[in-house]
Amino acid sequence: MKKQLFLFLLILSLGFKSYAQYAIGSNSSSVTDPSRSRSIACLFYYPATSAGLGTPIATPPAGGFPVIVLGHGFAMDNLTYKNFADSLTPKGYIVVIPNTESAIIPTPSHSAFGQDLIFLVNYMQQQDTISSSMYFAKVKDKSAIMGHSMGGGCNFLAASSAPNVTTTVTFSAAETTPSAVTAAASVTCPSLLFGGAADCVAPISSNQRLMYDACGATCKTLISINNGGHCMYANSNFNCNFGEATCSIGSSLLSASSQQRIVFDYLYKWLGFYLKGECSQFQAFQDLLSTDARVTHTQTCDYAPPLALVGHTRPLNFCPGDSSTLFSVNPYASYYWSDSSSDSFTAINHTASITLTVTDKYRCSATSAPISVLEYTPVKFHINPGTRVGLCGMDSVRLSFSFLPTSWTWFPDSTNRSSYYYADTDMFIWALCSDTHGCTSFSDTAQVIASATAAGLSITPNGALNICYGTSVMVAADSGFRNYHWNDGPRVRVRSIAHTGLYFCTALDSNNCSSSSLSLTALVDTAIHPRIYQVADSIYTDHFAHISWLRADGTLIDSANPIAALRDTLIFLVVEDSFGCKGFSNIAIKHIGLSTEAEKKMQAFIYPNPADEQVVLSVGIEDMEQVEVYNVLGIKVYKTPYAHSRLIIDTKMWANGEYVIRWSQGNKPCAGFFQVQH
């Protein structure tokens, strides 16, 4: 059991040490209140660079070290409260404990002791401004008055006339003369009162409860410690212990360590929030208070951690030229909007994501969730058929909207409620329109020109158009118009024609007058497939406008019809009809004057001609070498170094038109023509 107790105390001591940040410096001296010619003996404890008597004070955080002035109980000296200094000073507090009015005789003056407490608060604040003081520029402008028993009652006497006191904390405060209960009504700073539920010296019901009820603070808390006594807040003191023993016979009180642990659990959080500005400590105090089975409590508090709630007086989505006004739902000490406004409200006239940061009187801040503000994109309404409209030889012209607004007012005739506007004279027409968001804007303005007539539109070429099979012809309408529309669908100025039919174009001129061209008749020539005939030693074909007999290498043999057959010569035929359309012989290669066996070996066929998905080259019984195909631009589109006597070429992806095929057979050059028509 002793070992377990030792380990518990060791762990507990290590836990307390882990919170320490500063060494404890101290000194004992008296200060004089010149207004009363009164010397006040005190113990001063302060965060130091090293522990000891009179060691230098440590460098404080920004703003300095807060001050705590602690009033002792009846017949108790200030050394009894060293446990408070030991716990609070390492955390960055200056603790001042006066020793005045500590004797039993003469009877202590509660009024004088209360004045001592408030004088010491003011004294320490002044030390911050005195360059010769060890506390120069190291004292924070936040102070607390704390007191135990009689000192707790005197706490209220002091704080009732001290507006510069930040907070008060009492431990089993006892009624005083003059009345601490009466004085409590003038105390408005946040106040924390502790009482022992088993305290028989200063019972809660006749002391702390009355002070709590009378206290004028808007945030006050009374904590009743279960089984808590009167003397257990401080170190052991004979006078206090003796007095409590006379009335607590048979009571089971908490130990001093247990009661002090409870007190400091709350005290660290309360002082951390009010004196150091550690904003999270207020909620930590509240959370502990709501779950702690060691105590009961009563609380009245108008403070809550800041919550940045944003309202708006106008819709968050607005029309161009309008705005939305955002405001803080709750009042705070200061405001900062992400658009740099520092008022409690801000007007936003553009699309943005806005946040609000609020800061309360304790310098605690909170930031809202982003608020999305949207300025609608302006809607531009257009008038059809355009901004310049001619009557085009008609009595009137009808104007309308490119898409219908939610509501509209025409001008100059604002009485016209129709979605159309009919104009029959020179004038300007526009409308004030509303879109689906309720935003209004003016449409573009249309100028009506009564004298405007349609301009003539022509196409080139015109009249009759002959098109060779497998080809197309480019046709163009006049420039300077807009909205071109051909009768078979295309909406372009220049287009191609590849099929037999009747074609014309319609377009709008600069005055929005519609013009149509004369019709063009297109006739696609049939495919030309000339045949080659042989009679004796002559070869001939059907009648054509132009005839070309060619050798395999493409050189011209003759343009007559018929011509004499040539021995050992590979011949093919190209013809042209009266429209300039060309055709090629179905049997591209014809061998003249060869022996029957040689002709059998060299005879070549290209089929189908014209080809669609594939073309076949069949050359008898001998294999082929270096097969190549060229289009009419001379571009090679196919090549293979070797093929058998029958070659199939895939033409599915080839363009329509004429092609030349060349190959070698028995060291002899050969050639042929074929067409592709999909």
Residue range 483-530, pLDDT digits in tens? 999 999 999 999 999 999 999 999 998 888 889 999 999 999 887 878
DSSP-derived 3-state class of residue 275: coil
- Return the bridge partners of 323, or none: none
**Contact status, residue 250 vs residue 262, Cβ threshold 8 Å:** no
Q: Are residues 440 and 488 in the same domain?
A: no
Cα–Cα distance for residue pair 221/211, rounded to 1 Å: 11
Q: Are residues 46 and 164 in the same domain?
A: yes
Helices (runs of H) and strands (runs of E) counted in the chain: 10, 51
Cα–Cα distance for residue pair 592/558, rounded to 1 Å: 15
Final residue before a domain boundary, out of 429, 449, 469 = 449
Predicted TM-score (pTM) of this structure = 0.63
Q: Are residues 332 and 211 in the same domain?
A: no
Q: Are residues 415 and 552 in the same domain?
A: no
**Maximum average pLDDT range among 112-126, 397-411, 608-622:** 112-126
Domain that holds residue 479: 459-524
Of 399 and 90, the structure prediction assigns the larger pLDDT to 90
- Domain CATH for 540: 2.60.40.3080
Cα–Cα distance for residue pair 227/342, rounded to 1 Å: 51
Q: Does residue 627 form part of some domain?
A: yes
Final residue before a domain boundary, out of 425, 449, 473 = 449
Task: From residue 309, give the alpha-carbon distance in Å to each of 130, 360, 361, 366, 369.
Answer: 44, 13, 17, 9, 8
Final residue before a domain boundary, out of 494, 524, 554 = 524
Q: Does residue 8 form part of some domain?
A: no
Per-residue pLDDT averaged across 541-545, rounded?
87
DSSP-derived 3-state class of residue 291: helix
Q: Does residue 13 form part of some domain?
A: no
- Domain CATH for 516: 2.60.40.10
Q: Are residues 371 and 390 in the same domain?
A: no
Q: Does residue 105 form part of some domain?
A: yes
Cα–Cα distance for residue pair 274/190, rounded to 1 Å: 8
Q: From the CB of residue 300, how many other CB atoms can be counted at a distance below 10 Å? A: 13
pLDDT at 169 over 80: yes
Q: Are residues 396 and 515 in the same domain?
A: no
Q: Are residues 77 and 26 in the same domain?
A: yes
Q: How many CA atoms within 13 Å lie on the side-chain side of 422?
A: 4
State residue 611's pLDDT score.
87
Instruction: Provide long-range contacts, Cβ within 8 A and 24+ apart, for 205-212.
Output: 206/175, 207/153, 207/172, 207/173, 207/174, 207/175, 208/170, 208/172, 208/173, 210/175, 210/181, 211/153, 211/156, 211/170, 211/173, 211/180, 211/181, 211/184, 212/184, 212/298
User: Which of 198-212, 235-249, 307-321, 604-618 has the lowest average pLDDT?
Assistant: 604-618
Q: Are residues 292 and 339 in the same domain?
A: no
- Domain CATH for 362: 2.60.40
Q: From the CB of residue 37, how many other CB atoms can be counted at a distance below 10 Å? A: 7
Q: Are residues 507 and 554 in the same domain?
A: no
* Number of domains observed in the structure of the chain: 5
Percent of the chain with pLDDT over 70: 92
State residue 596's pLDDT score.
47
**Contact status, residue 618 vs residue 602, Cβ threshold 8 Å:** no
